[in-house]
Structure 1
Amino acid sequence: MYWDVKEVRPMDNYQIFVELEDGRKGVFDLKPYLNHGIFKELKDKAYFSQVGVFLGAVTWPHEQDIAPETLLAGLKPVKDSLAEPH
């Protein structure tokens, strides 16, 4: 689907870089979610860095995920030069 995630990488300050299958790229900020329910575990930076893609969604090992509509609504587009790994 158009919102399927192709790649995700953790960034500083509890943000993730996301590339979608349709070519869109952006940064999603997870700080607003860190004090809520199962997302509290993401405060552990070692755990936060275990972000991955499963079935086209952004996920973590203990079943935290970002709903596609939430991801799309909060994704801040970036230029290709910002998308390169550091």
Structure 2
Amino acid sequence: MHPAVTKVKVIEDHKLRVSFENGEQGELDMTPYLDFGVFSRLKNPQIFNQVTISFKTIEWPCGVDLDPEFVYEKTVKR
């Protein structure tokens, strides 16, 4: 089980600053995923900037959400 997301902030085009309940934090670059399926909805900056936390992970009002394990693994570099 991965730690829950506690804070998310857009820091530049399609990049997020994500904080977790265990105190770790890092950047998540969504650019590589924007040409795949539902993620293409996030190309629009107005939509991307509406990111929120829901159920311990990240989601957007347009119906796109991310697996908590993906968020943690792609954000916290070990």
Moved segments of 4+, more than 2 Å: none
Please, which runs of 5 or more residues in structure 2 have no aligned partner?
A: none
Which residue identity does 2:60 align to in structure 1? W
What is the rounded CA distance, in whole Å, between the counterparts of 1:62 and 1:45 in structure 2? 12
What is the rounded CA distance, in whole Å, between the counterparts of 2:64 and 2:49 in structure 1? 13
- Counterpart residue number, 2:24: 24
> Once the two structures are aligned, what percentage of the paired residues are identical?
30
- Mapping for residues 18-57 of structure 1, pairs under 5 Å: 18-57=18-57
Please, which runs of 5 or more residues in structure 1 have no aligned partner?
A: 78-86
What is the rounded CA distance, in whole Å, between the counterparts of 1:61 and 1:52 in structure 2? 8
Contact 1:2–1:20 (Cα < 8 Å) also in 2: no
- Counterpart residue number, 2:5: 5
Q: Note the C-alpha offset of 1:76.
A: 4.5
What is the rounded CA distance, in whole Å, between the counterparts of 1:18 and 1:43 in structure 2? 19
What is the rounded CA distance, in whole Å, between the counterparts of 1:71 and 1:47 in structure 2? 19
What is the rounded CA distance, in whole Å, between the counterparts of 1:4 and 1:36 in structure 2? 25
The SS at the match of 1:46 is helix
- Counterpart residue number, 1:75: 75
Count of residues in correspondence between the two structures: 77
The SS at the match of 1:62 is coil
